[in-house]
Amino acid sequence: MKSMILALFAIGALTLGGCERVSEEVFGARVRAYILEHPEVIEEAALRLEEKKANADRRAAAAAIGPRRASIERDRRDYVANPNGKITVTEFFDYRCGYCKQAAPEVIRLIAENPDVRFVFKELPIFGGISDEAAAITLAAHKQGRYMSLYQAFFTPNNLTPEAMEMAILQSGLNPASLKAASKDSAITQHLADNQRLAKELRIDGTPTFIVGDALIAGADMEALKAEIAKLRKS
């Protein structure tokens, strides 16, 4: 920052020294010469711009999360791991999302190793087709007390095809036909529609997305998630 301030003073001195009036061409040439002489100014300015954008994004996320806290963290229709945990993490995810698949084992480990973390699972199918069906079926399994076994099973195949989905249901000890019928319940359809609306209001445009406190973490950045959890533990 200090070098940027010095640069501004230097350019000002070049252009305004002695009340000299210069043309745009001369001014541009002097600025270019200074930047070529001090290229670190560009890097510093870029870092400062990135920092300002990140701060603006954090403020926007906090402003969007606050009024919707109950819908994000306390929707009784969602499956919640470690329900008595003091710190709440919510994940929006899709079973056909490669990054969600990458994050899934880390999510399971996080839940197992951190009983103080209350973890909310928000089904957010964004790819349509099988994604919609898998989300509805998992919510139907939730009503039968078998959510986590199916959650893990759906993330096991490399590609969640209809055949792979049926096999995952069978391996979870559930009946594919009855579960698919239960997934057509209008209450489940409404639940998924509410999740989609909530994600839109929060400007979530990809999965996975994690929300913890006032922070919104886009992508499978588990280190950033753990850092936010640690921050909340200290507060």
- What are the two backbone dihedrals, phi and then psi, of residue 73, each rounded to the nearest 5 degrees? -105, -20
Q: Tell me, what DSSP letter sits at residue 157?
A: S
pLDDT by residue (tens digit) across 170-194?
Answer: 999 999 999 999 999 999 999 999 9
From 217, 204, 211, 213, select the one nearest 231 (Cα to Cα): 213
Provide the residue type at 49 as one letter. Answer: L
Paired residues of 210 in beta bridges: 91, 217
Q: All domains of the chain, ordered by start, with CATH? A: 2-62 (no CATH), 68-234 (3.40.30.10)
215 within 8 A of 134, measured Cβ to Cβ: no
Categorise residue 82: left if φ over 0, alpha if ψ from -120 to 50, beta otherwise.
Answer: left
Q: What is the pLDDT of residue 57?
A: 58
Cross-strand pairs, 158 = none
Q: Which amino acid is at 169?
A: I
Local mean pLDDT, 10-residue blocks, the chain (235 residues): 46 48 71 79 71 60 88 98 98 97 97 98 96 98 95 94 95 94 98 97 95 95 97 93
pLDDT score of 218: 94
What pLDDT, on a 0 to 100 scale, did the predictor assign at position 30? Answer: 78
